[in-house]
Amino acid sequence: MVRIGFVVEGYCEKLLLESRNFRNWAIQHNIQICDPIINARGGGNLCPKKIDASITECRILASPEKIMVLTDLECDPCVTITKARIGNGDIDQIRVAKKALEAWFMADTEAMRRWLKNDDFQGEHNPEKTKINCQESSERRTWSRNKKNTLCQNNDKSI
């Protein structure tokens, strides 16, 4: 059995990994999820300058054999750029969902009803067609990089 420590983008990913069903699935696949699962509290904290603290916390508190980071695409144009943005030599694997986990919740009316504890939740009729506006996020990243240099810098200068 492989002991895996997780650093996740947010609360929803942490909830998923802590669920009994996911833990049972992991055991069936020879994976032991090490506790605690580290919540980075936002995609902006999954970058080289900020992720080191979460990786260290995971190594000390969970004692895993391997470390995996779970995030979503956010507004990056592709998985490769998201992985490069996170880039850290101490991470064994980075898994990037192309849609935010919250989008999957929206697609599953029953899951949303349980999560919200609201049996009247109607859900979204065509969640796969729901679009997000990345312009504001992209502008903020560009401004941060160019004006304040507060955006985490990527080791790969070609991106």
Per-residue pLDDT of the chain (159 residues; tens, 9 = 90+): 999 999 999 888 888 888 888 899 899 999 999 999 999 999 889 988 899 999 999 999 999 999 999 998 878 888 899 898 898 788 999 998 877 666 666 666 766 777 778 888 777 666 556 665 555 444 444 433 333 233 334 333 322
Residue 157, in any domain of the structure = no
Residue 139's pLDDT is what?
Answer: 42
Closest to 121 in 3D by CA, of 130, 131, 136, 111: 111
Burial of 8 by CB count in 10 Å (0-12 exposed, 13-18 middle, 19+ buried)?
A: buried
Closest to 49 in 3D by CA, of 158, 144, 147: 144
d(CA 89, CA 107): 35
Determine the structural domain holding residue 72 and report its residue range.
2-148
Structural domains counted in the chain: 1
Residue 53, in any domain of the structure = yes
Residue 10, in any domain of the structure = yes
Q: What are phi and psi of 145, to 5 degrees?
A: -70, -45
Residue 155, in any domain of the structure = no
Residue 24, in any domain of the structure = yes
How much is the pTM? 0.68
CA distances from 32 to 7, 62, 63, 108, 149 (A): 15, 11, 11, 27, 39
d(CA 25, CA 59): 23
| Greatest extent of the chain over all pairs of C-alpha atoms, in Å | 50
d(CA 39, CA 27): 22
Q: How many CA atoms lie within 13 A of 114 on its CB side?
A: 5
Residue 159, in any domain of the structure = no
Residue 154, in any domain of the structure = no
d(CA 72, CA 79): 9
**CB distance 75 to 81 below 8 Å:** no
